[in-house]
Structure 1
Amino acid sequence: MKHLNMPNRPLLNFLLIALTLLLVSACGDSNSSPHRTSVKILHVNDVHSHLDSDNVDLTLDGTTTEAEVGGMARVASLIDALSAENDNHLVLHAGDAVQGTLYYTLFQGEADAEVMNAIGFDAMCIGNHEFDDGDTWLAGFSDQLDAPLISSNIEVAPGNVLEGKFAPYIIKEMGGEQIGIIGVTIAGKTEESSQPSDEITFKDEIESVQTAVDELKAAGVGKIIVLSHYGYNNVQILATQVSDIDVIVDGDSHTLLGDFSPYDLSNSGDYPTMATNADGDDVCIVQAWEYSKVLGELDVTFVGDTLGSCSGTPHLLLGDTFVREDADENDYTVDGDELAAIQDAIDTDDKLTITEEDPTVAAIIADYAQDVDALGETVIGEAGEDLLLSRVPGHDYYGVNLPLGSDITPVVAKAFYEMDPNADIAIQNGGGVRTSVNSGDITYDTAYTLLPFANTLYEIDMYGSEIKQVMEDAIENIAQGGSTGGFPYAYAIKYDVDATQPYGSRLSNLEFKARGSDSYVPLEDGTLYVVVTNSYTAAGRDGYDTFATVQQERGLGTDTYLDYALSFVNYVESLTVNSEQLMKLPAEDHCIKSYIATPDATDNL
């Protein structure tokens, strides 16, 4: 009988066990190492037709310095440079592309659309101000844009002009992986303050995002970005209540994230801000301030369909020219060693980026700027007399010395008061108004030379005692060597100023005139008033500390997003319609009833 040679059984068992472990290990590696996808997100929000750069005061190398900041040509340039670092990149706009400058006044979104198309956005969320001129305007703007508009909580009635003009979300393929981008628009503000028709319904923001998430998940898309125009505080709540979202790129609240405190800019949180979604997974939240001043750069890694990591930089886009004031408060352009010190300070912080303008986008803006410049010569009204500019009463300012201070600054305060029907009182810092207005024609140029900064009208609820305190703060700031530009002027309130008194006792006999009344009554310490000021001082700058502290204690005020120069334009035009001229305030309405200067000529008071 022939015998077959069988393998050694212990050896066979060992080999079978080893093979089994190898297979299990291989399967385990596959499950524990899902595909990693790296995506760079470049984003802006709340540009508001600020295609050009703005002048912003920063503290650089320890000194207040006026810098040229932002502009869409710089945004385009940095997007090109950063996009080259990762083929998987998204360029996103979180809404409010329009409204706020003469580029919109004159071209009604055409200039904004051409610039956006040249940059190449992948998607834009609909912002509340996209509805300011109604459904038909937004439909036309959508037709001009190459980028898709998205919003998941806007419902359009059949047959409306906006039907089919936007989607709740889009799906982008990056490195062979699908990424969903969901839009959401702040509902209440858009319904109440903009002009959507009755055929537009705004649904609950959180519920709408979750519905869109569920649809994407059902379609096999698990990497999800929310592109929102909802506001920084709101999206932090939304993040916790929606499942399966990874990143929120936000707008609406004009929030500056990242630590910019060394440059005297107020920020509201970290870039990125981390939250946890309804599943307990991390969510990255970012926003990029306003007016094309910042380009957000967020690097995201997905591990499978979950956020693995995120980090990034909010780039404050700077020009290479800087202006300071000398000891006599005359402007000069910085050069030499002083300029080198500024550049060294910028080089130490990745958040500060001196950026050249993209020539293609700069040329597009320049073409429109020619017509904007021509519009600047358009007459909007007439000044019936010279309205001279001063800062501190009784002190020389560019050869002007007025016993009760500026003629024009209280008129600017009145313009803001008239343009904001919610306001009880308007307060304007003297340095925010930059020139006298002479008798004769008033043009757009006049208004934008008078008020050249990128400020908006900002409302703060304040008790009478706090209104006195904030103006005391501003005067004390001058006493401590701060700029005379902080001197407080106002409308619908008037007061005596004795600069020889100590801090807290310089203002007295404060009187208030209620809207619609011709008479003044004492300002009541315990009564709550709505104060309108400009967004610069509202942040506590120029010595207006109490503006900041009351918001820290009771919640933020309300940014109307009304451009302050355009508000003055609208005020002058309203005078013209009524055949009235721009005039000094009557003596009984001028905010400074009397002023006593200090005997020390060097303290600026």
Structure 2
Amino acid sequence: MTIKPLAAIIAALALVGCAQKDTQPEQSFTLTVAHINDTHSNFDPVLSSFNAKGITVFNEFGGFPRLQTMADKYKSAAHEQNRSFLFLHGGDAWQGTAYFKLNQGAMNADLLSKMGLDAMALGNHEFDLNNAKLNKFISGINFPVLAANIDTSKDKDLKDQTNIKPFIVYAFDGNKKTVVEDIDNLPAGKDIVAVFGIALDDMPDIAPNTGQVQFFDMVESAQKTVDLLESKGIHNIVAVTHIGNAVDLDVASKVNGIDLIVGGHSHTLLGDFTNIGHTDNGIYAQMVKNPNNNTGTCVVQAGQYAQAIGQVNVTFDAKGQVEACEGLNTMLTNDEYYHSPKREVASKFNQDETNKVVKFIDGEDNITITEENDAMRKTIDTKYKPAVVEAYGRVIAQVPQDINHARRPGDKGTDVHGSDVAPIIAEGQYFWANSDEVKEVTGLDVDFALVGAGGVRTNIEAGKYREGNVSLEMLPFSNYMSVVPVKGAVIKKLLEQTVSATLPEGAHAGKFPYGGNLRYQFTETVPHKAGKLDFVEVMTGTKESPVWTPLEDNKVYNVAMSNYNATGNDGWTPLFEAQKESTDRIDLVYVDGELTGFKVKNIEKVNGKYKVNYEGEAPTCKAENIRCNTDAQAVIDYISNELPVVAPQDFDVVTFNRAT
């Protein structure tokens, strides 16, 4: 099948004189779609917990071997019942664990290809390395990566990549499916389904290494793609996206003709999970009315970190409109349970207790005990795990109880203060930035630190805590620390804008800010739409004698943060605006083992991307003598020197009051 970029799609539409005669059967048709998203290299299970009728159960969820088992089960059931079936991935397979740090895209290509996926959306973290490595990954998988709103023709690494496609078309005869190579000649008597992809149109502002790939408006591109497909007689249309649940709903309300959106990016585990002590995350298979007020789009998403899998049945009428859409997400658990998050032998459930939990699970629809696929587990344990175990390094602290991270307060059952992990990260970076080693380089006393919630990738799990838990898992992006002198008014604007952007239901909350040595309160005034910053205060006392002082608009504060956020990425735009003309910012990396400061001149926007200009040479993180992950090193040093026992902070840095 020859697939062209967006420019060619637009040209093709201009040449369409009349719609091709439909060749699809004149009856309703049901398609089953299994889906995952934001797996982020979580090949092993995630240690977690749930509630079984008042009993707290410490377990593990998911991992690729369990996803494989459940996907195979869904496929087998569809085959036995002769149902049409697709298995889709909503993007962000990359990044997130030590496996990715060591193997980069290779392990994902290996294991995802074993899963039997039909297609995957292009996520922002697929651009975390460089386009040469992304190209190698895409060449190494046995399913297409879909994005109808990009053009790779000007990128030196991706211009000849044929496995990035705007869409793929399938012809179904019951469970049997074939790829349609020529959409101008659809096979007669088959049920035809098109799957197209949508990537973030602001990708250059979010992803660090998009090269010369061009990104186009999501709504405009989606409608043009649907119009092209329908002009060819294809009316059963699925979008696999990596734009976030709130944006999925918005796109569905602005585009006619998408029947099903399988999403990713916001890590939204749609459905009500209060029955297991988790949260109600919104409607799974929510129907959204299209702008024509006639058709509708069904929207699904399946959470994060390979903990769950979704399955939806969508029924199309003869015109390709949705008659019914229903399904659910299912959390995949093991069958070995503990009373303590440390999971000591003494806290393991006895057989009677285990039987009660198993009976409870058997009575619930959205959690199931799932055995690991033996072959995939063997591949992980023999081919990849030994190097990861070796890479974790020394123990730096003990953790008595799990410390949980949620990007936005209220998510994952958290209270109005949100994450207990992000404040520890921010406090660690504040502490490090004020150490003698750093102050010798910067000459600056740092007033506070800020972190974006999306940069914090894991919980802090009970037990021994190692260097690698920070550098390989918690802060895996190898960002370097920046110290940015900036006025208080800029910080207030930053807090107000970033929090406001996370108010809509299903919004991507990676930009949500947490502080170290700083606290603030934000109150929502219009549910999911607007709010106001009540106060921002800086700690000017000590932990023993805390004094909180209001942030002053015209006072310049020295703020520690990652270079990614300091440059204004992920919606931290006020920092870019403050540094457009000039800045006294200093970026910090290790050169030949010695901490070195690089003075920033200003930031400019070039071809849609923020470009940092330095007074002299820029840090070259690919050089063998340069180590750039000072964001992680800051936290390692802080925990190692100051927190032999890691626990949540005594004070709250965020208070986020939602409207009722």
Band of TM-score, shorter chain: 0.5 to 0.7
Q: What does 1:378-527 align with in structure 2 at a 5 Å threshold?
A: 378=393, 413-415=426-428, 423-424=449-450, 432=460, 434-435=462-463, 443-444=467-468, 459-460=512-513, 464=519, 466=521, 509-510=547-548, 516=558
Contact 1:247 1:285 in 2 (8 A): yes
SS at match of 1:311: strand
Q: Does 1:137 align with 2:150?
A: no
Contact 2:146 2:197 in 1 (8 A): yes
Of 85, 101, 106, which residue of structure 1 is paired with 2:102?
106
Which residue of structure 2 lines up, in the alignment, with residue 168 of structure 1? Answer: 166
Instruction: Report the Cα offset of residue 369 of structure 1.
Output: 3.7
SS at match of 2:335: strand
Instruction: Report the Cα offset of residue 196 of structure 1.
Output: 3.6
Cα separation, 1, equivalents of 2:255 and 2:291: 5
Number of aligned pairs? 446
Which residue of structure 1 lines up, in the alignment, with residue 148 of structure 2? Answer: 152
Cα separation, 1, equivalents of 2:123 and 2:155: 22
Instruction: Report the Cα offset of residue 156 of structure 1.
Output: 1.9
SS at match of 2:339: strand
Which residue of structure 2 lines up, in the alignment, with residue 128 of structure 1? Answer: 124
Cα separation, 1, equivalents of 2:275 and 2:379: 35
Uncovered stretches (5+) of structure 1, i.e. residues with no partner: 1-32, 392-407, 468-490, 498-506, 519-529, 531-567, 594-605
Of 41, 48, 63, which residue of structure 2 is paired with 1:56?
48
Which residue of structure 2 lines up, in the alignment, with residue 263 of structure 1? Answer: 276
Which residue of structure 2 lines up, in the alignment, with residue 218 of structure 1? Answer: 231
CA pair 264-177 structure 1, distance change in 2 beyond 3 A: same
SS at match of 1:68: strand
CA pair 86-388 structure 1, distance change in 2 beyond 3 A: closer
Which residue of structure 2 lines up, in the alignment, with residue 228 of structure 1? Answer: 241
Residue deviations 1:473-518, cap 9 Å, x none?
xxxxxxxxxxxxxxxxxx9686668xxxxxxxxx964468996379
SS at match of 2:330: strand
Which residue of structure 1 lines up, in the alignment, with residue 535 of structure 2? Answer: none
Instruction: Report the Cα offset of residue 125 of structure 1.
Output: 0.8
Instruction: Report the Cα offset of residue 417 of structure 1.
Output: 5.7
CA pair 248-573 structure 1, distance change in 2 beyond 3 A: same
SS at match of 1:300: strand
Q: Which moved more, 1:359-368 or 1:341-350?
A: 359-368
Instruction: Report the Cα offset of residue 143 of structure 1.
Output: 0.6
Instruction: Report the Cα offset of residue 150 of structure 1.
Output: 0.7
Q: Supply the AA of the counterpart residue of 2:335.
A: D
Q: Does 1:299 align with 2:335?
A: no
CA pair 307-164 structure 1, distance change in 2 beyond 3 A: farther
Q: Supply the AA of the counterpart residue of 2:53.
A: D
Residue deviations 1:79-121, cap 9 Å, x none?
1111122241101001000101011101111111111111110
Cα separation, 1, equivalents of 2:336 and 2:316: 40
SS at match of 1:224: strand
CA pair 493-151 structure 1, distance change in 2 beyond 3 A: farther
Cα separation, 2, equivalents of 1:211 and 1:449: 40
Q: Please give the TM-score of this superposition, normalised by the length of structure 1.
A: 0.65
Q: Does 1:583 align with 2:641?
A: yes
Instruction: Report the Cα offset of residue 234 of structure 1.
Output: 0.5
Instruction: Report the Cα offset of residue 457 of structure 1.
Output: 7.8
CA pair 83-449 structure 1, distance change in 2 beyond 3 A: closer
CA pair 584-373 structure 1, distance change in 2 beyond 3 A: same
CA pair 330-366 structure 1, distance change in 2 beyond 3 A: closer
Q: Supply the AA of the counterpart residue of 1:320.
A: D
Q: Which has the larger radius of gyration?
A: 1
Residue deviations 1:317-354, cap 9 Å, x none?
1111111139x999711123222221121111111110
Q: Does 1:90 align with 2:86?
A: yes
Which residue of structure 2 lines up, in the alignment, with residue 182 of structure 1? Answer: 196
CA pair 204-301 structure 1, distance change in 2 beyond 3 A: same
Which residue of structure 2 lines up, in the alignment, with residue 281 of structure 1? Answer: 295
Q: Which has the higher helix share?
A: 1
SS at match of 1:323: coil
Of 28, 39, 42, which residue of structure 1 is paired with 2:34?
42
CA pair 412-436 structure 1, distance change in 2 beyond 3 A: farther
Contact 1:102 1:372 in 2 (8 A): no
Cα separation, 2, equivalents of 1:137 and 1:352: 36
Which residue of structure 1 lines up, in the alignment, with residue 61 of structure 2? Answer: 69
Instruction: Report the Cα offset of residue 203 of structure 1.
Output: 0.4
Which residue of structure 2 lines up, in the alignment, with residue 366 of structure 1? Answer: 381
SS at match of 2:78: coil
Residue deviations 1:171-213, cap 9 Å, x none?
011222110101001122x211213445211100011111111
Cα separation, 2, equivalents of 1:194 and 1:223: 32
Instruction: Report the Cα offset of residue 131 of structure 1.
Output: 1.0
Q: Which moved more, 1:247-256 or 1:316-325?
A: 316-325
Of 354, 362, 387, which residue of structure 1 is paired with 2:369?
354
Q: What does 1:562-601 align with in structure 2 at a 5 Å threshold?
A: 571=631, 573=633, 582-584=640-642
Cα separation, 2, equivalents of 1:444 and 1:196: 25
Cα separation, 1, equivalents of 2:540 and 2:347: 36
Q: Which moved more, 1:241-250 or 1:256-265?
A: 256-265
Cα separation, 1, equivalents of 2:514 and 2:634: 27
CA pair 418-171 structure 1, distance change in 2 beyond 3 A: farther
